[in-house]
Amino acid sequence: MLLRVENLSKAYPGPEGPVPVLRGVGLQLRAGETLALRGESGSGKSTLLHLVGGLDRADAGRIAIDGQDVTGLDDPGRAALRRGTVGVIFQQFNLIPSLNVRANIAFQARLAGRHDAARAARLADALGLTAQLDKYPEQLSGGQQQRVAIARTLAARPALVLADEPTGNLDEATAAAVMDQMLALVAETGAGLMMVTHSPDLAGRLGRQLHLRQGRLA
């Protein structure tokens, strides 16, 4: 089992005490499997992705990736997890502003020790970024930035891809191309993919769909 989440809970501090966001979420994902995560805005989709991606700590419950319990990892352990095992694509502001597109695409792969220049070039081409390679993030449109972030994650070939509305600000054709690339990676490396999306079309291309409602999965 690539990912096993059991009984996960998370609350954020509010003005009148803690506000629970996730209340005992459980799910499983096998290698090569794809999963669409849906739910209303504010239902806790991003929160769940952050917890699985080793970006924040859960209040209770257990997350195991590749059989290893990651819930109790310390800061360096989580950092290693983010470097080597999971790849997170955020809704926005993903890029390192001081590096150009080429360096941004290579960044995570180099951190993980899996850099392959030919593969990075191929991804840039497939996502229509070849002309932007020497530009800096501030010189790109929001959609271009998002494609760079996706290329970066795919170039690093993580075992688990976590994508948070990655196609939110892309047009339909580009969104479809992005989807192709993600599914190609899954097919090629057997990675697992968990993606938050509002689009029924995109969700339909993934193997399973889960709904997050009132802190629980349905």
Residues that bind Mg ion (CB under 5 A): 46
Query: Which of 87, 161, 147, 155 minimizes the C-alpha distance to 118?
Result: 155
Angle at CA of residue 112, ends 106 and 115, nearest 5°: 40
Token digits for 15? 């003005």
Q: Which of 43, 104 has the CB closer to ligand ADP?
A: 43
Picked from ligand ADP, Mg ion, another protein, none, the partner binding residue 21 (CB below 5 to 8 A depending on kind) is ligand ADP
Distance, in Å, from the CA atom of 147 to the CA atom of 16, rounded to the nearest integer, reads 40
Neighbouring CB atoms inside 10 A of 68's CB total 11
The one among 9, 28, 71, 91 contacting another protein by CB under 8 A: 91
Question: Binding of another protein at residue 14 (CB under 8 A)?
Answer: no
Q: Is residue 43 part of the contact set for another protein (CB under 8 A)? A: no
Distance set, CA 149 to CA 28, 60, 154 (Å): 26, 31, 9
Pick the binder of ligand ADP from 8, 29, 34, 43 (CB under 6 A): 43
46 binds ligand ADP (CB under 6 A): yes
Does 163 contact another protein by CB under 8 A?
Answer: no
Q: How far apart are CA 154 and CA 149, in angstroms?
A: 9
Please say which residue, 3 or 129, places its beta carbon nearer to ligand ADP: 3
- Please give the radius of gyration of the chain, using alpha carbons only, rounded to the nearest integer: 17
Q: Contact region for ligand ADP (CB under 6 A) — 39-47, 80-88, 105-113, 197-205?
A: 39-47
Nearer to ligand ADP, 122 or 211 (CB): 211
Interface residue with ligand ADP, options 41, 72, 138, 173 (CB under 6 A): 41
Of residues 33 and 152, the one with the C-beta less far from another protein:
152
Can you point out the beta strands (E) in 66-164?
68-69, 86-89, 160-164
Q: How far apart are CA 165 and CA 143, in angstroms?
A: 12
The whole-angstrom separation of Cα 11 and Cα 30 is: 27
Q: Which stretch binds ligand ADP (CB under 6 A): 42-50, 66-74, 109-117, 180-188?
A: 42-50
Q: Residue 55 corresponds to which tokens in the numbers above? A: 């970006």
Which of 94, 146, 181, 197 touches another protein by CB under 8 A? 94
Query: Rounded CA gap, 154 and 108, in Å?
Result: 9
Q: Least distance to Mg ion from the beta carbon of 22, Å?
A: 13
State yes or no: residue 84 binds another protein (CB under 8 A).
yes
Chain residues in the site for ligand ADP (CB under 6 A): 12, 21, 39, 41-47
